[in-house]
Amino acid sequence: MTTDIRLRFLHPSGAIGPGKVTLLEQIDRTGSISAAARALGMSFRRAWFLVETMNTAFREPVVRTNVGGREGGGTGLTAFGQEVVRRYRLMEEEARRAAAPHLSWLDEALKPETEEEES
């Protein structure tokens, strides 16, 4: 097993971490909050709440929604939202590289998993 780290950015205006970033990535892939929620096994209500939380926490919205019409509805990340995801993933990778020797040491310091614990 490899030890990993999870980053969470906390600010009085709001927080962003791996769950919200994964939601943003799914919205970007699917073009839909409901499809992204389904892909992540969460309710549409929860996904919508998280999107609203992020849109109000930042100075600019991270997700844009288009109301239905001739071309149909749809949802996507704004350019700012794409930048939030990009910077979060870069920060995550840089933190992982910086922490790698310490994570390795911790891995070696832990007792090995038994077969019962793995099941």
DSSP string covering 25-46: HHHHHHS-HHHHHHHHT--HHH
113 occurs within a structural domain: no
53 occurs within a structural domain: yes
Domain with 89, as residue range(s), is: 9-97
What's the pTM? 0.82
117 occurs within a structural domain: no
104: which 2 tokens?
Answer: 């390795």
23 occurs within a structural domain: yes
Residue 49 sits in a domain whose CATH number is: 1.10.10.10
To the nearest 10°, report the CA torsion of 30, 31, 37, 38: -50
Pairwise CA distance, residues 33 & 15, whole Å: 19
93 occurs within a structural domain: yes
If one counts the domains in the chain, the total is 1
110 occurs within a structural domain: no
Print pLDDT tens along the chain (119 aa).
566 788 898 888 888 999 999 999 999 999 999 999 999 999 999 999 999 999 999 999 999 987 765 556 679 999 999 999 999 999 999 999 999 999 889 888 988 877 565 55
Distances (CA, A) of 44 to 23, 26, 27, 88: 11, 13, 12, 24
